[in-house]
């Protein structure tokens, strides 16, 4: 019962593969999940609400403007009451509406009105899948942290062969299990500190120095740790992301404020420093807005910020048992990571390539290597959510022998 107690809102959109959604409902129920279905108008051309209702043993929702549906459970409540929204199959049309933020029917409205994790399993003709419009829409969704399962290569209902087949229901269940974690309590009683996002270093009252960090990776790690039962303090720079569920979030702007918030969070069992902290701050922040009519060229004197990771790693008795840093590099990634491991006094370094070509900064995916004193482990390219899950699982393993 890997999904015991989890609630999945299954959105079934149009396409011949919609018949597989019935098997998916059966497997999710078998794994212990509660399933509620939303059926789009096109989806209803391929499967019936009655079949989904019988298998899920829950009412099926189809109409945004139905008085009965809205009085029983409004569209906002539908997504709030789920741990995951799974769109299976996800048609090219629904993917396009998700990417543009449409709210044109119940399914798209629920997807727009949610901050719950979303997974899509696309299924369509291969030319539709390979069309630049779909490629761009899927990239947009990935960039927002939506998990994408498949599609697979294979014979298609239209007689062609290529990518576009819906992944098999067991593979979709496995992806849902990975996203929802085991719901375990393996980190119960542990306190975790995570830093995330950029820092803003003020120049004057209206200007600041910042960087392109989105905070997605740090937030995903915080969420994954909380899902495993840890008490999580997330110290975050300015990001546009929602607060991860079950996490205590401290919002700060500057590196020095981030350090103060981290110190205040101690003692912790594990600290993960995923923030892209500004190395420098302006020495004399102007109290007035700097005018362009002033002396030119304008030069700003910068002084170095404290290294938060190195400070907390050297916190003596207060040092967390496990200190994990990130090394964002554009070349010689593992080489620099090894140097940082020693230089900053941390236990592990998650090294990632943030060169412009990698698309990592600001994107939805990450390709990292875990560098420990034992060696370097290269992980495949994964969504930032999956990197968070893997890292949380490793943290749980590492803290286990120390228990008691």
Binders of ligand CTP in range 185-224 (CB under 6 A): 195
Binders of ligand CTP in range 40-79 (CB under 6 A): none
Give 202's contacts (C-beta < 8 A, 6+ positions apart). 208, 253, 254, 281, 282, 285
CB 305, min distance to ligand CTP, A = 5
Near ligand CTP by CB under 6 A: residue from 309, 333, 368, 391: 309
Given the complex with ligand CTP, which of 122 and 218 has the nearer CB atom? 218
Side-chain half-sphere exposure of 393, counting CA atoms within 13 A: 13
303 in helix, strand or coil?
strand
CB 360, min distance to ligand CTP, A = 13
Near ligand CTP by CB under 6 A: residue from 134, 196, 236, 305: 305
Does residue 328 interact with ligand CTP by CB under 6 A? yes
Question: Residues touching ligand CTP: how many (CB under 6 A)?
Answer: 15
Given the complex with ligand CTP, which of 13 and 254 has the nearer CB atom? 254
120 in helix, strand or coil?
strand
> Is 262 a catalytic site residue?
no
Give the C-alpha distances (Å, rounded to integers) separating 98 from 80, 94, 146. Answer: 18, 6, 10
Near ligand CTP by CB under 6 A: residue from 45, 115, 279, 397: 279
Near ligand CTP by CB under 6 A: residue from 326, 385, 386, 388: 326
Near ligand CTP by CB under 6 A: residue from 247, 275, 370, 393: 275
**In what helix (H) or strand (E) does residue 95 lie, and over which residues does it extend?**
helix 92-100
CB 165, min distance to ligand CTP, A = 40
Near ligand CTP by CB under 6 A: residue from 277, 322, 387, 399: 277
Does residue 307 interact with ligand CTP by CB under 6 A? yes
Give 228's contacts (C-beta < 8 A, 6+ positions apart). 181, 182, 184, 185, 186, 187, 392, 393, 396
Binding range to ligand CTP, per CB under 6 A, among 183-191, 219-227, 272-280, 396-404: 272-280
DSSP one-letter string for 263-294: HHH-S-SEEEE--B--SEEESS--SSPPPTTS
Side-chain half-sphere exposure of 73, counting CA atoms within 13 A: 17
Give the C-alpha distances (Å, rounded to integers) separating 163 from 25, 46, 121, 133, 285. Answer: 24, 21, 12, 16, 55
Does residue 333 interact with ligand CTP by CB under 6 A? no
CB 380, min distance to ligand CTP, A = 22
Which residue from 23, 22, 20, 172 is spatially nearest to 86, judged by alpha carbons?
172
User: Active-site positions?
Assistant: 158
Q: Binding residues for ligand CTP, per CB under 6 A? A: 195, 255, 273, 275, 277, 279, 305, 307-309, 325-328, 340
């Amino acid at each position: 019962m890997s999904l015991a107690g989890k609630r999945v809102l299954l959105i079934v959109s149009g396409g011949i593969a919609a018949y597989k959604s019935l098997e998916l409902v059966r497997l999710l129920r078998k794994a212990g999940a509660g399933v509620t279905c939303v059926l789009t108008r096109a989806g209803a051309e391929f499967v019936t609400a009655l079949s989904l209702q019988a298998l899920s043993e829950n009412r099926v929702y189809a109409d945004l403007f139905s008085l009965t549906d809205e009085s029983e459970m409004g569209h906002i409540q539908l997504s709030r009451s789920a741990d995951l929204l799974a769109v299976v199959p996800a048609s090219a049309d629904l993917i396009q509406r998700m990417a543009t933020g449409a709210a044109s029917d119940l399914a798209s409205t629920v997807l727009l009105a949610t901050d719950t994790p979303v997974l899509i399993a696309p299924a369509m003709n291969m030319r539709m899948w390979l069309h630049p419009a779909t490629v761009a829409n899927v990239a947009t969704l990935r960039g927002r942290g939506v998990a994408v399962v498949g599609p697979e290569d294979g014979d298609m209902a239209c007689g062609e062969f290529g990518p576009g087949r819906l992944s098999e229901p067991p593979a979709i269940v496995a992806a849902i299990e990975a996203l929802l974690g085991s719901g375990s309590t393996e980190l119960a009683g542990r306190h975790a500190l995570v830093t995330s996002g950029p820092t803003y270093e003020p120049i004057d009252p209206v200007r600041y120095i910042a960087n392109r960090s989105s905070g997605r990776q740090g937030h995903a790690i915080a969420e994954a740790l909380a899902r495993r039962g840890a008490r999580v303090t997330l110290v975050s720079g300015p990001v546009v992301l929602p607060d991860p569920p079950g996490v205590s979030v401290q919002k700060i702007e500057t590196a020095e404020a981030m350090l103060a918030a981290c110190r205040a969070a101690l003692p912790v069992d594990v600290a993960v420093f995923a923030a892209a902290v500004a190395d420098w701050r302006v020495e004399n922040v102007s109290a007035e807005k700097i005018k362009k009519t002033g002396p030119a060229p304008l030069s700003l004197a910068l002084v170095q910020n404290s290294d938060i990771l190195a400070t907390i790693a050297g916190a003596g008795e207060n040092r967390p048992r496990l200190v994990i840093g990130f090394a964002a590099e554009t070349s010689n990634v593992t080489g620099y990571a090894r140097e940082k491991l020693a230089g900053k006094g941390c236990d592990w370094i998650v090294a990632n390539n943030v060169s412009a070509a990698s698309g990592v900064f600001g994107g939805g995916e990450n390709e990292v290597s875990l560098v420990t004193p034992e060696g370097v482990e290269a992980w495949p390219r994964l969504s930032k959510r999956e990197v968070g899950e893997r890292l949380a699982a490793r943290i749980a393993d590492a803290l286990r022998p120390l228990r008691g």
